[in-house]
Structure 1
């Protein structure tokens, strides 16, 4: 018997089945990807997608929201408990809109913002030129030291004292080292700026105790709910009570109308899962896998930005291999290892063909891989990069067969 979807739309059903097979038979090394639990998936595809609930609990602009209010309150309460914050807003539709709400809450167009440069590991929404945050606000950027690949807080402080930003961002998308939230908070306090911690990548590590928390240091915590937190594709803003009203009004009615209630329910499920003891073990396992993979690649002669990792991701500079990041990422995909090409600090190559690749361990850890598997992964990565350099399609197919065998032995949650 065909499924409901197959009967209604065979083409979409075919595409979904193809994607399920692709995810099953490949290993995702993209740091921002993960595999959600069947419970999170069920909530995401629930009847809550039928409802419209503009506003906040007990303050809706539509009737029929008694159940929705309960769902949203539950997600908020779980976020408050898990991250140790006074206030949480679970309505932002994604990470970039959540970050834009921070600007809307605290800044006026033209105000100065200090954020990490995108090519050093920051995020588009921290004031990069192609983002509206770089067009509507005066953006000043900090980076990393060329010698270490690590943020220099003395440089950040010098910039902050000179430029007097109203908002400072810490966190980003390609930062392999622990973020010093207390150090950033001291700088923000000295110049009278709001400190926003973008923990989208490391939220699950924070929840599991594998990375320090910005709670008590940052004025605002912004995060997505997927990546290491292993929830649906949504976002949250968290703060003390002092900033609750400003953030809530920035999200609604400032930037969006009705929230996605099915996503809110799935966030609640993910937060419940992240509060369990097993999740703390998972968070530590992510880091253990990343460190083991970093060590194995270094042994094979690879240059890692900052010399390694403290968290879930590795930024690999392929300059010494004389292979571009894009060619390497495309070759790795042919070998069933999915990553993304990425700029490295002080990269002489263009963003669409940079010098690096970015690797992460959240998804493979969800599947059950351990540090014992990382030597094989490093070997396959090395062999694939070498194959890319000599355009050896046969070698990539051989590697693919080995990777698929491992992937099928450790399937995603189902």
Structure 2
């Protein structure tokens, strides 16, 4: 059944679901999203995720070691990141985190973590740890590794975690790992929203210095919801065993295929250009905001992430979120902790991932930064907010959900993603689908 007929059938059979689908389509198509934990999936990945491969499973009960598509995927990951061992049978980053905790620590151990990251993944009595926090200096808004070393020596944690969801700068991975290893601790880097940048060398890789690296696959890699654990060979057996004992012994073949293709895409020049543009767009967004007097925390960005200082503006997270949403922007408000427990910042976490996927470049991102600043400086002026909203919709209407520029090859799998007319005929859709399948399997074999 082709897409048009499928949607027509759903509209007749399940009006509630069809209404939700249409509303979500409108939201994605006609707003500008800066959500850091989201991205629009690769059409190749999406196609495979919805294919007949969804009917079958790969399980550890079938084979003692990964074979077939799982082995192909793991080999691609290890080659891409220079890792010694990879685990992919994990449906979320929370699941991956719990596997790492069970493997490296026991109840009551001390965990030293940036902003207490990963503590929210410890939802079991067997994962009750003594979390100790390190964070940015409130004056410089940067991490001081001398201070981190001092805390580590004082508390002697079993594991040190660096998960920079609220930190847009690159740190000295080698130095932080040395701090951990000098006190006998494991070093765990979580690189979720930065994994694409690491894969293409846009920012340095922590893999050579880490005992464990974790990341999700649905954000900067533009793949399915899943996650990966990379580790040193000496930890491979315990982590593999923990994966099984915690119930993660299978993965549907459609997810495996979807993972396989995104790690293949990550080796292409197109993906390298994409990740380079992600960083350029983040810096352009920062520039547009700063030129309109908006303060950016952490002295800028090295990644996809730009942090807007709402505390400096005297605006609450909720008020900023509501105003920007009314103006056509989807944003993530949160609180940025510092090493002074009495001084935190209310912020917006703005990511350039999605808008880069949609094909925007520096000039547009800088202008959008100025549009957002206009809203933040006129937070109660509904006339100005409406004016900005109209302009945001105009920009969004011109952008596909997934720009043809980033396709691994020219054929578009789903017209919905394309900058081309989505109302193609059924005959053309069928022809295109056949051509795509031939190219896809040729691509996957390389």
Q: Which residue of 2 aligns with 1:64?
A: none
Q: 3-state SS of the aligned residue for 2:336? A: coil
Query: Are 1:138 and 2:130 counterparts?
Result: yes
Structure 1 271/239 Cα, relative in aligned 2: closer, same or farther at 3 Å? Answer: same
Query: Are 1:400 and 2:389 counterparts?
Result: yes
Q: 3-state SS of the aligned residue for 2:89? A: coil
CA distance in 1, matches of 2:146, 2:36: 28
Considering only aligned residues, what root-mean-square deviation do their CA atoms show, in Å?
A: 2.4
Which shows bigger deviation, 40-49 or 208-217?
40-49
How far is 1:129 from its partner?
Answer: 9.7
Q: Which residue of 2 aligns with 1:205?
A: 197
Deviation digits for residues 219-276 of structure 1, max 9, x if unmatched? 1110001221211111000122221111111222224343343222211111111110
- The equivalent position to 2:358 in structure 1, one of 357, 362, 367, is 367
Query: Are 1:189 and 2:181 counterparts?
Result: yes
CA distance in 2, matches of 1:303, 1:133: 42
Structure 1, unaligned runs of 5 or more: 61-67
Cα pair 1:100 1:133 within 8 Å, conserved: no
Q: Which residue of 1 aligns with 2:427?
A: none
Query: Are 1:162 and 2:160 counterparts?
Result: no
Q: 3-state SS of the aligned residue for 1:89? A: strand
Matches within 5 A, 1:321-332: 321-332=313-324
Query: Are 1:149 and 2:147 counterparts?
Result: no
Deviation digits for residues 17-76 of structure 1, max 9, x if unmatched? 22122111111111222111211111222233333443276239xxxxxxx942212211
Matches within 5 A, 1:283-294: 283-294=275-286
Q: 3-state SS of the aligned residue for 2:193? A: coil
Which shows bigger deviation, 215-224 or 298-307?
298-307
Matches within 5 A, 1:9-408: 9-55=14-60, 58-59=63-64, 69-118=67-116, 123=117, 125=118, 127=119, 136-346=128-338, 355-388=346-379, 390=380, 392-408=381-397
With structure 2 as the length reference, what TM-score do the two structures score? 0.83
CA distance in 2, matches of 1:51, 1:311: 38
How far is 1:138 from its partner?
Answer: 1.2
With structure 1 as the length reference, what TM-score do the two structures score? 0.90
CA distance in 2, matches of 1:134, 1:362: 36
Paired residues in the alignment total 397
The structure 1 segments of at least 4 consecutive aligned residues displaced by more than 6 Å after TM superposition are 347-351
Structure 1 214/56 Cα, relative in aligned 2: closer, same or farther at 3 Å? Answer: farther
CA distance in 2, matches of 1:105, 1:134: 12
Which protein is bigger by CA-based radius of gyration? 2
Q: 3-state SS of the aligned residue for 1:202? A: helix
CA distance in 1, matches of 2:126, 2:371: 39
How far is 1:343 from its partner?
Answer: 0.7
How far is 1:403 from its partner?
Answer: 0.7
How far is 1:210 from its partner?
Answer: 0.7
